[in-house]
Amino acid sequence: MAVTKIHPIEKTLHLALNYIMNADKTDEKILISSFNCNPKLAHLEFEQTKRECNSKAKILARHLIQSFAPGETTPEQAHKIGLELCEKVFQGKYEYVLTTHIDKGHLHNHVIFNNVSFVTGKAYQSNKRSYHQIRTVSDEICKENGLSVIDENYKKFKNRYSTNGKSYIEYMEFKKGGSWKNRLHLAIDKAILKSGTYEEFLKAMEDLGYEIKIGKYLSFRHKDKKDSGRFTRTKANVLGEDYTKERIKERIEDPTKQQIYNKEQLYDKLSYKKPDTIVNIKNNEKVKSSKGYEVWAGKHNMKTMASSLNEMRRYGINTYEELELKLKKAASDRQQLLDQIKQAEQEMKSIYSVIENKNTLSKNQLIHDMYIEDKENNAFYEEYKPQIIAYEIALKELEKSGYRTLSIPKLSDKYTVLEQKKISLMEEYSYQNFMLHDLQQAKKNTDIYLNNHLEK
């Protein structure tokens, strides 16, 4: 598994170069290469390049780390892969020093390269796009050499669960949401549930009233907004990670999508119509002042009471006493289900946190190792303080967790089981909730109806 990380160096260039060229770590300095500079004088040559290019960049150099899974490669192959990575990424425009360390349980390359190009005179632009390019190139080279790439288990987990799940209340509110974004989310979810292929998904979106524009990004606009609304792109920063074109295709092909994204019957439950209420004839001023309204109210009450009786029989209730007992049991069952949902959510939250912390340790392991070896190096600590603190916080959190010994694949499997259990519980809670409201309304109607007739 090749993992890449990149960090800026603003003050400790000489110290960083000394560290990566440590003889004990580089097989007596055999595994050291450089481009367009002398490794021993690289810090001076980097500064000279910066002066010649009149660069005002504060960053002196960039420190790129590429690590490999234990036992997966040899020091020589790892160094060769590092050279190829440098050639493809820097394209002969930046001075660099490459070393391969063999002192840890896993091999890893260190590349310190000038922040300023001696060809263009411009500073290296380190951002998400350039980092993604480095990672992509690294993955391609590793695959060509028969090596694994970045932790696919973590990547798959994040793709499937971009958040650690909505609470039941958030879930219900979201489903009732009226914003254009919520409506588009719901439409995409429903279309995915109905579709076995990407083409079927596009057809389903059209059937739901959306115009589609296919380009670099998949875009939608509801037909009701044709004159005033713009197309909405399925970009992660617009709709979320779960609604990009690539993720939609993955969701369509996911055999467990019916469980992960819930069953379509739930949409029908959410459109439930509240039962009518019986008119309280005794306290209704309109009944007292209008004979016609009184006649209508009487017919309405008989029809509504008949409907309430049918509703009670549907739940197996034949007497008023049975209705009261059923109401108590339904309220108790609903609360138990809510407690189970909260417990599942808490476990999911814990697992999600453990996976994130394990990933934080993996990302910052090498920097923390360097810090531990020389704790007195204050300059290094200040340079990498955020990464060191992040590592130590993650480690402390993991030590408190009951899941710390489990691997990410096992944690992901456990999370999926809990997610499916939670969805099942939420569906049952939904049913209990609607039943409780039905029975409460039936009891209310029965009480009013009996009161009306007792008064007569």
Read out DSSP for 142-195? Answer: HHHTT---S-HHHHHHHHH-SSS---HHHHHHHHT--SHHHHHHHHHHHHHHH-
Q: Is residue 162 part of a domain?
A: no
Q: What is the CA radius of gyration of the chain?
A: 32
Give me the number of domains the chain comprises: 3
Q: Does residue 182 share a domain with residue 144? A: no
pLDDT for 32: 93
Tokens of 286: 């309109």
Q: Does residue 362 sit in the same domain as residue 439?
A: yes
In a domain, 172, yes or no: no
Residue whose pair of structure tokens reads 């279309």 in the numeric block:
191
Question: Is 158 part of any domain?
Answer: no
Quote the pTM value: 0.51
What tokens were used for 208? 């739901």
Regarding whether 403 and 345 lie in a shared domain, the answer is yes
Amino acid at 347: E
Last residue of a domain, one of 231, 265, 299: 265
| 288 CB-side CA count, 13 A | 5
All residues at 6 or more sequence positions from 10 whose CB lies less than 8 Å from its CB, including other chains: 58, 59, 60, 383
- Rounded CA separation 13/37 (Å): 14
Considering the domain architecture, whether residues 397 and 328 belong to the same structural domain is answered as yes
Q: Which two tokens stand for residue 340?
A: 């189970």
Q: What is the CATH number of the domain that holds 10?
A: 3.30.930.30
Round to whole Å and give the CA distance between 110 and 270: 56
pLDDT tens string for the chain (456 positions)? 456 778 899 888 998 999 889 888 777 777 899 999 999 999 999 999 999 999 988 899 999 988 886 667 899 999 999 999 999 999 999 999 999 988 765 788 999 999 999 999 999 998 888 888 898 899 889 888 888 665 666 766 776 665 555 554 545 544 444 457 777 887 898 889 888 899 999 999 998 889 999 888 899 988 877 666 688 888 877 787 778 888 899 888 887 666 544 444 443 444 445 567 888 888 788 888 888 888 898 888 889 888 888 888 888 899 999 999 999 999 999 999 989 999 999 999 999 999 989 888 877 776 788 788 888 888 778 877 888 899 999 999 999 888 888 888 889 889 888 988 887 888 788 788 888 888 888 899 888 888 887 655
Residue 168 has phi, psi (to 5 degrees) of -60, -45
**pLDDT the model gives residue 165:** 54
The verdict on 82 and 135 lying in the same domain is: yes
**With contact defined as beta carbons under 8 Å apart, do 279 and 310 qualify?**
no
Closest CA to 95 of 137, 29, 43: 43
What is the length of the chain?
Answer: 456
Q: Tell me what pLDDT residue 422 has.
A: 85
Are residues 206 and 106 both part of a single domain? no
Q: In whole angstroms, give the CA distance from residue 241 to residue 250.
A: 12
- 277: in domain: no
Note whether 17 and 139 are same-domain residues: yes
Whether residues 406 and 362 fall in one domain: yes
Q: Does 138 share its domain with 7?
A: yes
Asked if residue 276 belongs to a domain, the reply is no
Residue 137 vs residues 121, 141, 310, 356: alpha-carbon distances, Å: 24, 6, 68, 25
The enclosing H or E element of 293 equals: helix 291-314
Instruction: Say what the pLDDT of residue 311 is.
Output: 82
Please tell me the predicted confidence (pLDDT) of residue 148. Answer: 64
What is the helix, strand, coil percentage profile of the chain, to 5? Answer: 60, 10, 30
Q: Give 11's contacts (C-beta < 8 A, 6+ positions apart).
A: 60, 379, 382, 383
Please check whether residues 79 and 130 belong to one and the same domain. Answer: yes
pLDDT of residue 64: 93
**Structure tokens given for 237:** 């920063």
- Within a domain: 433: yes
Let me know whether 245 and 334 are in one domain: no
The helix-helix angle for 128-144 and 75-90 (nearest 10°) equals 140
- DSSP character string of 320-341: HHHHHHHHHHHHHHHHHHHHHH
- Burial (CB count <10 Å: 0-12, 13-18, 19+), residue 13: buried
Tokens of 28: 């007596």
Give the closest residue to 49 by CA, choosing from 113, 116, 120: 116
User: Does residue 304 lie in a domain region?
Assistant: no
Q: Which of 232, 248, 265 is the last residue of a domain?
A: 265
Q: Which of the 8 DSSP states describes residue 242?
A: G
**Do 210 and 347 belong together in one domain?**
no
Crossing angle for the helix pair 320-373 and 168-175, nearest 10 degrees? 110
Q: Of the residues 241, 265, 289, which one is the last residue of a structural domain? A: 265
Q: Is residue 116 part of a domain?
A: yes
How is residue 286 annotated by DSSP? H
| Residue range of the domain that includes 10 | 3-149
